Amino acid sequence: MRLLLARHGESVWNAERRFQGRTDIPLSARGRAQAEALGTALRGYRLAAAYVSPFRRARETAEVALAGTGVPLVPLEELRELSLGEWEGCTVDEVRARDGDPYRAWLLAPHDCPPPGGEPLDAVSSRVRAAMDRISALHPNGEDVLVVAHGGVISVYACALLGCSFNALWRLRVDNASLTVVRPPRLVSLNDTAHLPDTLATATHVRASIVGGERAP
């Protein structure tokens, strides 16, 4: 089986650099355009099915990208984004302004320095790997299967495949409407955005080093 992992398009809160986590936020107009571009890239695959996070930004991305294809969409609760606890609804600048700049600590060591009340990354990994195993069992014959989820979900799964510490999580880049390809247990490619025109690609200032604190949540 070949898994095509797509991050949802830009949400309204992505555009505002606001933490969303499990808050159910819709796509922005730019996010819908990104989803359309993603759909063009997906026409090159013969998709047997699409599994999607229950959150609106992921569902909308899948619906736009797969419009007219007849590919069935299957919601999976285990694909929901990780919870960011008390930070949800806050902007990056608001969290940075707190004592000790916890945002920077989280970027450098997200496993050791999680947001207050946030979901532990080990728990995220367990549920996401269980979902991927379940999908694999349903498609044992080498089919192409789409998974539309979130940056945190895809990054955690990539870390698990690579066998690296979850403290390296934000060193992996997963842009809005990107494609990551997996042939379990092998990570084939990460964060392919070749299908996005320059006007829809992640802005240059956001692509700067996450250690410098310029990554959008």
CATH of the domain at 109: 3.40.50.1240
Q: Kindly state the average pLDDT of the residues 86-111.
A: 97
* pLDDT value of position 214: 37
Q: Does any domain span residue 214?
A: no
Q: Kindly state the average pLDDT of the residues 118-123.
A: 97
Strands across the sheet with 73-75, in order?
73-75, 47-52, 144-149, 2-7, 179-183, 186-192
Per-residue pLDDT for 66 more than 50?
A: yes
Q: Does any domain span residue 212?
A: no
Active site residue 111: no
Q: Which domain holds residue 178?
A: 2-195
Q: Does any domain span residue 207?
A: no
* pLDDT value of position 77: 97
Q: Does any domain span residue 79?
A: yes
Residue 120: what are its φ and ψ, rounded to 5°? -60, 140
Q: Does any domain span residue 75?
A: yes
Length of the chain in terms of residues written:
217
Average pLDDT along the chain: 93
Counting the structural domains of the chain, the total is 1
Q: Kindly state the average pLDDT of the residues 106-125.
A: 97
Q: Kindly state the average pLDDT of the residues 11-29.
A: 96
Tell me which of 81, 88, 119, 150 is the catalytic residue: 81
Q: Does any domain span residue 58?
A: yes
* pLDDT value of position 202: 80
Per-residue pLDDT for 17 more than 90?
A: yes
Span 148-185, pLDDT tens digits: 999 999 999 999 999 999 999 999 999 999 999 999 99
Tell me which of 8, 60, 78, 150 is the catalytic residue: 8
Q: Does any domain span residue 143?
A: yes
Q: Does any domain span residue 210?
A: no
Active site residue 119: no
Span 33-43, pLDDT tens digits: 999 999 999 99
